[in-house]
Structure 1
């Protein structure tokens, strides 16, 4: 190794995490696999492995001075500048190490794809392109930590470029393209929120990582790290032989890749597994086929075996199997083994059928031979096969006193138009509309820019310049644009909300299965929140307190888990539940003023304990009125279902200024309608907020 790379921790010295290392290596061998998503805990060597892998391979050839690091061996992939150098005969070659490019979570679209100077193009008639992260990552590795926190639109751009190998930037009819072949590596912690299934599906491979549980292996890891920190160069030198061996195996596999063949039998196995696992679409089949071929090449074989397909399935299907966010967990490995066994049984049946057809054909042929040559009938009596008609039906071998109430049925959600929020808010989602300064929003109108803009409204600029064209000197130009003519685009996009559930978990909720129905209602809202990219929180109140079971999070799976495990019993401190909800909402607004909060109170309203000794209902009405004054939007779901109704929940709803629904009409579309109808038009965060 060269001196400037000595300090990099060796890839082969990483302890454990074999699946993650295998997935990374496979993407180096075959970049067309579509990248790898690594899900799991912090501190599990994800970034270390990526940087070590890039340092493992030898230097690559590039066109000297090219900002895209074009490959001089492939003329079709050269950028415009390199093609010009090639035609002029002054294209020079240099060698560099493969790079790892980090993409920060705060990256904008312009930072990722690059920028076209539209103003320069209009005034000068020339293209001027400033490369972005995708250009820097060409022929290297693009590493995106916490990819689930990126805006969905940015993730779409990354995955499109990773799949196509080209980045195309278009602004107002001006287009610029450059090669963007890179290995995409994304990492995420599922508890901080999942990627949308459509985005998950476009990652080729996925591995789940966690800390090593074996004590001896953890001790080994610590010793390696201490040795590396004490003498990086010496530690790397000790692993040089292993690094060289793995590097040679990768390079050999890259050469062998085009020679690997996959049989129809293995293709049938791949499709059988995908059908049995219930994955949507056909991307899984195609990616599993490519991964199986790559595994075969990595193992030095030119034919794909069943073991390659099985290993490929474990890497390709883990993030594609779940159709709904709250499906019960199943043993994926058992399902995979069952699918492989089913394929084996089918192959046995096919072999048996082939044997029977062959025997039948042999018997018919023997009969025909006896008719044509009667003197030879004694050589092969009927029912006895000749020695050269040996059976081949071997087949393949066999492999062989509080209560926790259930969650009620969830409902299909009716889609309604969300409220329009006029503030320029950050974030992503699919519920409420907001103005945005980012480019992924929809262009709705134009405005005069107060500073230089890269998001030029071409149509509005031309309209502003048109009245002055007769009086301006054109000097051969068709149209003259001055700075006062420039207009920028005003865009809008959708963002998610913070939905905070405040759930009555007192003993009275256990009567008449009200808690079962209430949990079903919350589950329906969680389904909608999952689809709309909302954040959710869960507060339960019972006894003498209210508890935040789940802080606001994007992990809807986690919210559903806490909902299922929520116990019921004790008194009904509604006022404490409302105060707790208020505190959480205000805390979230201080942390992020762009938050759009909405509180859903689910209770029968029969409070029987207060905070300050005054009548419980009077105290609740006072607190609810304060919440209404603060502009906190809410809905109340009344779970009272007895023949004689007291109407306490309705009084609380009136004091809150909330949408009111009863348990009898508690259907998912009604609840969601209530939430959306009450969604905040504009929630302002005022300094010095006082507590309730």
Structure 2
């Protein structure tokens, strides 16, 4: 046992978290668990503690691929020998660092072996080490996209396929994926989110007795880890025995057709698109029964599985927090198990839907947020020289991303191993040695994040006709796009006599959304000041910017007394254009007679200009062109 690991059985409360981890231990095919919650809520502690209670597995000492007994990987030199003997060993627990290179994760050419004899030998990576074990990723939502793609491929196939540097290798890579994350740093890509079989939301205890007990146990553990682990040894052993028994019982657990129909019914009612939800719920319900020593699944098992499987898979509106309405779940369970009379169900359902629609309409206030509709994608047609990990703009010479070519470089920061060895081999096998002239650099192209600066007109000319509802809905739609592209966002609001930076640049799009919902309106239109503040904000950022201006252009407050507000606005727009800032103007002017000031402003900015109606077009694919230097 690793005595530096906090005992799993000593974790206070967090019942659902512990249950999810135990289910993944009973049935590794569940696909792992995503643990979401605030900092300091025992997410990492619980994940790391799981390994100490897992039943041992059989493996050959020194095997880099964790081959299963009797089915060794064909290229494993350790297991494919006459004297290879499997022994009981702990389940592998492999941590995938956020800064890991792709080579480190999937494996690469063994440079040492290649230099010694000129042979191509595969050096396995973290996916091989995690086979038949646990792959753990802390802050998984910050994982770079190129590593996410690798994980998706391996998780889908259970195989890691490597095609690079003259190698063509495939080896088993079946692992339980455990990830932790804090929503303040953004969400996961939907494809990876769906790959997690289970999801748990964790929060710190609100009860002072529980909180003090957490602190008491942690302090005692840190004071003497060995003694503390010994004190919990009996309970740890009980959990280990429970898991071993459940693993043996699992193949015998049955789930009848009526409960399978219930699973599908719940998935449909919660509008879950992925069929993986039905499959995982089936497996999780059986694992719950096995964990409790039963060979027959009950409706309560299905309900427990639903709480872990459905929250991150149900369809959500933009910025709607994930979760599951437990009252609705109870009602659906009751309806399914005791169906009402025919005809009454349909009528009641239709009446409830009508009431729900009516309630949502009644709650819409004067300057609330109208529906954002479908999320619009803004493609920034730029090549950025400054790099910040994201998904919108193309970044040349990025530290991470797709390798597009290799170039000769005597001082490479990212060595192109294959090209370097090939260059040395051209001189002949008799004189095989690598010199500085053989070294080659990998040139990568990645995706760059942007700073999306929203400049929102909140003056009386906007509010008078209740257009702020539509404006806020449009901004929320664009904010959703920024959220998905891992951008930073900032918000400037202008009304009355001045403009203010309501939200400094941040990756927390939820903060921007909250600021917009609470945005006060009314007063005059200090448009020149707003563009001045935008210019100052963009000059301070190190990220490639994108300016999104929402206004009708009816400026009536000058920055300097005696000046024409409209002419000042045009001058600041020209200054932004001189700095080649990509921009988008959303013209919020309505009515029969329009001055067209917003479109003139867009021309001065060198920007795209759309009306709110055009922004709501069904098939909008907007490209904002600029040159970020």
Q: Bigger shift: 228-237 or 30-39?
A: 228-237
Shift of 1:109: 1.2
CA–CA distance in structure 1, aligned partners of residues 213 and 433 of structure 2: 70
Residue of 75, 78, 82 corresponding to 2:78: 82
Q: Distance in 2 between matches of 1:146 and 1:58?
A: 27
Contact 1:641 1:664 (8 Å CA) reproduced = no
Q: Which has the higher mean CA deviation after the structures are superposed, 420-429 or 144-153?
A: 420-429
Please list the CA deviations of residues 187-210 of structure 1 after superposition, one character each: whole Å capped at 9, or x if unmatched. Answer: 111222111222211111111111
Whole-angstrom distance in 2 between the partners of 1:222 and 1:246: 23
Q: Structure 1 residue 312 and structure 2 residue 305: aligned?
A: yes
2:44 is aligned, of 29, 42, 47, to 47
Q: Distance in 2 between matches of 1:14 and 1:62?
A: 30
Question: Equivalent residue for 2:393?
Answer: 432
Picking from 257, 263, 271, the partner of 1:270 is 263
Query: Structure 1 residue 35 and structure 2 residue 32: aligned?
Result: yes
- Three-state SS of the structure 1 residue aligned to 2:293 is coil
Q: Distance in 2 between matches of 1:270 and 1:82?
A: 45
Q: 1:577: which partner in 2?
A: 530
Query: What residue ranges of structure 2 are gaps of 5+ in the alignment?
Result: 343-364
Q: Name the CA distance, whole Å, in 2 between partners of 1:426 and 1:344.
A: 52
Q: Within the alignment, does 1:103 sit opposite 2:99 as a pair? A: no
- Distance 1:653-1:290 versus aligned 2 partners, 3 A rule: same
| CA-based RMSD | 3.7
Residues 535-584 of structure 1: CA distance to partner in whole angstroms, max 9, x if unpaired?
43332222344444444445555544443332312333333433433344
Equivalent pair of 2:60/2:79 in contact (CA under 8 Å): no
* Alignment partner, residue 407 of structure 1: 369
Q: Which of 650, 658, 663 is 2:607 aligned to?
A: 658
Question: Is 2:254 aligned against 1:261?
Answer: yes
The alpha carbon displacement at 1:245 in A equals 1.2
Task: Summarize the alignment of residues 105-124 of structure 1 with structure 2, pairs less than 5 Å apart.
Answer: 105-116=98-109
Q: Aligned partners of 2:460, 2:512: CA distance in 1, in Å?
A: 22
Instruction: Give the distance between the partners of 2:92 and 2:221, measured in 1 at CA.
Output: 22
Specify which of 143, 157, 167 is matched with residue 150 of structure 2.
Answer: 157
> What are the superposed Cα offsets for residues 474-521 of structure 1, whole Å, 9 maximum, x if unpaired?
88x9x9999978876655454443322110112221122322232233
Partner of 1:136: 129
Deviations 1:62-112 (A, max 9, x none): 3122233434x3424575213422xxx221445544453322222221121
Q: Does 1:598 align with 2:546?
A: yes
The reply to whether residue 26 of structure 1 matches residue 40 of structure 2 is: no
Runs (5+) with no aligned partner, structure 1: 350-402, 590-594, 685-692
1-structure distance, mates of 2:499, 2:449: 26
Match of 2:12 in 1: 15
Q: How does 1:432-581 map to 2 (within 5 A)?
A: 432-436=393-397, 440-441=401-402, 443=404, 447-451=407-411, 455=416, 490-530=443-483, 532-554=485-507, 556=509, 559-581=512-534
The one-character-per-residue Cα deviations of 1:401-447 (angstroms, maximum 9, x if unpaired) are: xx861333445578787525164845232x4333355675274x554
Output the TM-score relative to the length of structure 2: 0.84
Cα distance change on mapping 1:25 and 1:347 into 2, 3 Å: farther
> Is 2:241 the counterpart of 1:248?
yes
The reply on whether 1:588 has 2:541 as its aligned counterpart is: yes
- SS of aligned partner of 2:311: coil
**3-state SS in 1 of match to 2:80:** helix
| Structure 2 counterpart of 1:300, from 289, 293, 297 | 293
- For residues 113-142 of structure 1, the C-alpha deviation after alignment (integer angstroms, 9 at most, x for no partner) is 121259987996633223322233334332
Distance 1:294 1:651, change over 3 A: same
Task: Measure, in 2, the Cα distance between the counterparts of 1:221 and 1:203.
Answer: 28
With over 3 angstroms needed to count, the CA separation of the structure-2 counterparts of 1:450 and 1:33, relative to structure 1, is: same
Q: Equivalents in 1 of 2:89, 2:78: separation in Å?
A: 17
User: Does the C-alpha gap of structure 1 residues 560 and 447 become closer, same or farther in structure 2, counting only changes over 3 Å?
Assistant: same
Change (3 A) 1:304 1:160: farther
Q: Does residue 1:207 correspond to 2:167, yes or no?
A: no
Question: For 1:409 and 1:290, how far apart are their aligned partners in 2?
Answer: 37
Change (3 A) 1:655 1:108: same
Deviates more, 1:497-506 or 1:136-145: 136-145
Question: Structure 1 stretch 628-637 or stretch 324-333: which is displaced more?
Answer: 324-333
- C-alpha change, 1:34 and 1:418, in structure 2 (3 Å) is same
CA distance in 2, matches of 1:15, 1:576: 54
Task: Report the CA distance between 1:644 and its aligned residue.
Answer: 5.5
How far has the Cα of 1:628 moved from its partner?
A: 2.9
Q: CA deviation at 1:643?
A: 5.5
Task: Say which is worse superposed, 445-454 or 497-506, in terms of deviation.
Answer: 445-454
Distance 1:579 1:137, change over 3 A: farther
Stretch moving more, 336-345 or 124-133: 124-133
Give me the whole-angstrom Cα distance separating, in 1, the residues matched to 2:223 and 2:40. 20
Per-residue deviation, 1:317: 0.7
SS in structure 1 opposite 2:64?
A: coil
Structure 1 CA distance, aligned partners of 2:227 and 2:477? 59
For 2:116 and 2:10, the matched residues in 1 are separated by 56
| 1:632 corresponds to which of 560, 581, 584 | 581
Describe the superposition over 1:339-361 as per-residue Cα deviations: whole angstroms up to 9, x where unpaired.
22232135999xxxxxxxxxxxx
Contact kept, 8 Å, 1:194 with 1:554, in 2: the verdict is no
Distance in 2 separating the partners of 1:341 and 1:255: 32
CA 1:584–1:14 in 2, change beyond 3 Å: closer, same or farther?
Answer: farther
- Given that 1:508 and 1:569 are in contact with CA atoms closer than 8 Å, whether structure 2 keeps it comes out as yes
* In structure 2, distance between residues paired with 1:97 and 1:319: 31
Determine if contact 1:277/1:335 at 8 Å carries over to the other structure. no
2:163 corresponding residue in structure 1: 170
Moved more, 549-558 or 132-141: 549-558
Distance 1:63 1:546 in 2: 68
Asked if the contact 2:384–2:393 (Cα under 8 Å) also holds between the matched residues in 1, the reply is no
Return the match for 2:624 from 651, 661, 677. 677
Q: TM-score of the superposition, structure 1-length normalised?
A: 0.77
Mark the CA change 1:331 to 1:34 in structure 2 (over 3 Å): closer, same or farther: closer
